[in-house]
Amino acid sequence: MKTLRALAQYPLFYAGLLVLGAMCLGWCAVAWAMRPFLSPIRGRALGRAGISGGFRLYFAFTTWLGMTRFELDELGALNGQPSLILASNHPTFLDAAFLISRLQNAGCIMKADVVDNPFLGAGARLADFIRNDSPRNMVRQAIRDLRQGSHLLVFPEGTRTTEPPVNDFKSGFALIAKGAKVPVQTLFIENSSPFLSKGWPIHHRPPSFPLVYRVRLGKRFNVGDDAKAFTRDLQHYFEHELAKAELALMVQTTPSERPVHD
C-alpha cells in the first residue's frame, strides 16, 4: 500500500506542475486585462495580493496531496512592519514562490525579459516588480519601492546556491538598503531535497516526498557606511547560521544522481 501511494505521487507531481502553470497563465491574463483600469497604487496592492494568494493556494494543494510540507509561520511576524529588505539564501527555484506566499506586500527583482514579455510579464508589471536591467535603474526602482512602504525580497547570492552553504554575496542589496535607509532582515531557508536546486530541471522528479521546507528569521541589521564590508560580514553570518540547519541545506548527490542541464 505504501509503495502504491508513493508511485501515485509522481503523476500527481506532474499534474501539480500543470496546475501551477495554468494558474500563472490565468492570473497573467487577468492582470493584463485589469492594469489599464487601476491606479499604480491599487494595481500594485492587487497584483501582490493575487500572486501571494495564488502561491499560497497552490502550496496548500500540494501539501494536501502529501507532496510538500512547509514550516513558514515565522514569516507572519513580518507582515505589517515598516519597509525592510528581506535577505535570504537561495537553495531552490521555489524559494521566492513560497516566501511570497506568506508575505502580504513583498516586491522582488525579476529578469527584465520576463517582466517585458507582453503576456507572461503582466502579473509582474501589475505587482510593480523590479526589472534587473541596468544596475543603476534597478537600484533606483528598488529604493522607490521601499520608500512606498514595501518589503523587498532579495537573494544576495544572485543565483541559486551551487557551493553550500552559500555562494559569494553580491553587494547590490546593501547599496539599496543604504540608499533607502532601511534595515536588512535575514531569512534562512532549510530544505530536505535537492529538487530544483541549480542544474535540476523542473521535469525531473524529486527523489522522494514530501519535500520539506523551513524558514526561520535571523537577526536584523543596518548596513552602515561600507556596503562591501557589510556584505562580507553578512555572508559570514549566513555561513555560521546555516551550519546549524536541522534539515539538509542542499542534499548532496553523486554526479550520476544529480541531473545537470545548463
Q: What is the per-residue pLDDT across 35-52, written as a single tens digit (0 to 9) for each? A: 999 999 999 999 999 999
Asked if the structure places residue 220 within a domain, the reply is: yes
Residue 259 covered by a domain: no
Cell of 261: 542541464
Sequence-distant (6+) residues with CB within 8 A of 3 are none
At residue 262 the predicted structure's pLDDT band, cuts being 50, 70 and 90, is: very low
| Range(s) of the domain holding residue 175 | 2-242
Residue 195 is part of a domain; what is its CATH number? 3.40.1130
What is the pLDDT at residue 133? 85
How far are the Cα atoms of 16, 43, 54, 58, 129 from residue 22, in angstroms, in the given order? Answer: 10, 22, 11, 11, 21
- Reported as type and span, the H/E element at residue 240 is helix 227-242
Answer yes or no: pTM beyond 0.85. Answer: yes
In a domain, 253, yes or no: no
Please give the tally of structural domains in the chain.
1
- Establish if 254 belongs to a structural domain: no
**Interval 128-176: pLDDT, tens:** 999 988 889 999 999 999 999 999 999 999 999 998 999 999 999 999 9
pLDDT band of 252, cuts 50, 70, 90: very low
- pLDDT at position 153 is 98
Distance in angstroms (rounded) separating the CA atoms of residues 203 and 85: 32
For residue 260, being part of any structural domain is answered with no
Q: What are phi and psi of 260, to 5 degrees?
A: -120, 115
**Residue 251 is assigned to a structural domain of this protein:** no
* Phi-psi category of residue 242: left, alpha or beta, with phi > 0 → left and psi -120 to 50 → alpha: alpha
- 78 lies in a domain? yes
**Tens digits of residue pLDDT in 171-223:** 999 999 999 999 999 999 999 999 999 999 887 888 888 999 999 999 999 99
Whether residue 261 is contained in a domain is answered as no
Single-letter amino acid code for the residue at 185: Q
- Tell me the residue type at 104: Q
